[in-house]
Chain A
Amino acid sequence: MIDTHAYDGAPEAEFRDYVALLKPRVMSLVVFTAFVGLWVAPVAVHPFVAFCSVLFIALGGGASGALNMWYDADIDAVMRRTQKRPIPSGRVTGGEALGLGLGLTVIAVMMLGLAANWFAAGFLAFTIFFYVVIYTIWLKRWTPQNIVIGGAAGAFPPMIGWACATGGISIESLLMFALIFFWTPPHFWALALFMKEDYHKAGVPMLTVTHGRAVTRRHIFGYTLVLAPFAIWLGLTPVGGPVYLAVAVVLNALFILGGWRVMRRNEDAAIADDYAVEKRVFKLSLYYLFLHFLALLVQHWVGTW
């Protein structure tokens, strides 16, 4: 049988192409941390309102993902890992992604305001603005510290969750922010060490390219040191407790040790064993964040200080 195509070029988009625009894997992190922030807050929230709030925070995160893909389509088209994304592959036009991103932003912010409160909604709007304008449009292509600043956008969700319950900001939510904020650079730089993406060709200044790999290794270790006190401090606040503190002490010791090992290696040793240590530290960093927030949930369940 002869298969004829009415049009040349890329096929029409399916529903899942629009879902892919929302970066579902990033959304899963947003959902989890926002939920923990909301749930451990001292103000009880009706479960359905909590569910809706987390959903709309995630939708806001998805909207910023779509706006990011709209603006970064030129970078995505150059780098191998991202060439199959909906816009560079031609299944979705840039204008559609922009429209979807802006539309979902409005819906997510308005609905979060109606479901929870308008402070949380304003915070969500600010987060989307920060991620799209400050990070994607401005800093990502301008400074090798882009990862550090972009990390702030990823660190806001637990604060928004907390704001949904309490209507404000407090030391616990700020420390949850710090936990993700200082965790992001070692996490991404460990990945950058062994992924060796063609960022240079795409015109994105990555620390590994601009300052070299030795500097990146030192930065990774430095951030694990900065991160640890904030993680422990969170355990001493009213949301903390013995379970969380025990988890935090073990994980931070492991993470600092990992950072130390990454720093002590040079590129030859890393190539010799195919970046085994870097890959292990990257995997550890995933568990690090997940287990910290899981420990907060467990601690809330068994009772805090």
Chain B
Amino acid sequence: MPMQTEHELHRRRRSRNVGLGLVLAGFVALVFGLTVVKVRQGDLMEAYDHQPRVSITPLEQETPAAQEASE
């Protein structure tokens, strides 16, 4: 007979460990899935980073005066 028998306590602890492990793995999968979906939808992926960049500034309406000047 082995010296270490499994106690009820160990079963309860294992249920917590396995449960938490599955939850964490599921959460990782969820975030990964969300990332894939968001990237495919082409949402704005650039954020403001201390200096203005043309690629993230909103398009400006051309004023009539500017249009005339360009003609």
Contact = CB atoms under 8 A, between A and B. Distances in A.
Interface string A220-255: 000000000000000000000000000000000000
Interface in A184-242: none
A12 interface: yes
A49 B8 CA distance: 41
A52 B34 contact: yes
Nearest to A49: B37
A12 B30 contact: no
Chain B, interface residues (CB within 8 Å), range: 10 to 19
A55 B27 CA distance: 11
A25 B12 CA distance: 23
Contact of B9 (A6, A19, A55, A115): A6
Interface string B1-16: 0000001110011011
A11 B30 contact: no
A14 interface: yes
A4 to B, nearest CB: 9
Contacts of B30: 52, 55
B37 A12 contact: no
B17 to A, nearest CB: 8
B70 interface: no
| Main SS at interface, chain A | helix
Nearest to B17: A15
Nearest to B35: A114
A33 to B, nearest CB: 22
Interface in A1-23: 6, 11-16, 18-19
B13 to A, nearest CB: 7
Contact of B16 (A13, A48, A49): A13
A48 B34 contact: yes
A115 B7 contact: no
Contacts of B58: none
A117 B49 CA distance: 21
A55 B20 CA distance: 17
Nearest to B8: A11
Given A15-B16, A15-B18, A16-B15, A115 B34 contact: yes
A46 B16 contact: no
A12 B34 contact: no
10 contacts: A12-B13, A13-B12, A14-B12, A16-B15, A18-B19, A19-B19, A48-B33, A48-B34, A52-B30, A52-B33
Given A12-B13, A52-B33, A55-B30, 8 more contacts: A11-B8, A12-B12, A14-B15, A14-B16, A15-B15, A15-B20, A16-B15, A18-B16
Interface of A: 6, 11-16, 18-19, 46, 48-49, 52, 55, 114-115
Interface of B: 7-9, 12-13, 15-16, 18-20, 30, 33-34, 37-38, 41
